[in-house]
Amino acid sequence: MDILTIFLRTVLIYFVVFLMLRIMGKREIGKLSLFDLVISIMVAEIAVFVLEDAHKPLLSGLVPMATLVLIQVLIAYITLKSRTLRVLFDGKPSVLIHKGNLNREEMRKHRYNLDDLMLQLRQNKIMNVADVEFAILEPSGKLSVVEKEMKERTAEDDKMKAAIRYEGLPLPLIMDGKVQDENLEKIGQNRFWLKNQLQSKGARDFKEVFYCSIDHRGRMFLDRKR
């Protein structure tokens, strides 16, 4: 009898949660802000609470779930009218790359490191930071990227031609001010060569550089600490 009860309760809770998510709107499916995530986690926890004990009344779970959905719908409606509240609940975008330069202050504020940035750039099918004009971290955590125009990239290629050419993805040579010696070995160079390259671009020491990479055409990207 308990098994049948659990089965029926599970089916009922499934349709209740499905209906509540539909009421919350397609906006919740497309993205999850911090507020959306909290609501979703709480609804899931309450659903488990109802299912784990067949003797608990369904209303002890359905009422809190309905209350959360009501809060979500009301907040969504209010934020349509007020941008201040919208920013408060959903947050606002952060520019991580501005006109080709890394914004370290914004990265630090969001505890967003270089590995996170490179991962999301690759997910946007961009392999080289040097090809990015703007990168914006949306409130949902997704990175929106605006690439440099082809003419600008071609002009940079002409200025930055180098003897280093290899097959593969762009390699970071300096990350967070630390030299990546294993990547220097991959291109057959050493710290002395790297220091000369940095000095030619106005950086006197490795510690002055936040991030430096080189691509398969020998094009070097450099972002200095500020």
Tell me the CA distances in angstroms from 110 to 32, 85, 169, one per residue in order. 17, 20, 27
For 131-152, the pLDDT digits (tens) are: 999 999 988 788 999 998 865 5
Q: What is the pLDDT of residue 28?
A: 46
For 97-116, the pLDDT digits (tens) are: 998 899 989 999 999 999 99
pLDDT > 80? residue 172: yes
Percent of the chain topping pLDDT 90: 24
pLDDT > 80? residue 161: no
Quick one: average pLDDT of 43-48? 86
Percent of the chain topping pLDDT 70: 87
Q: What is the pLDDT of residue 130?
A: 87
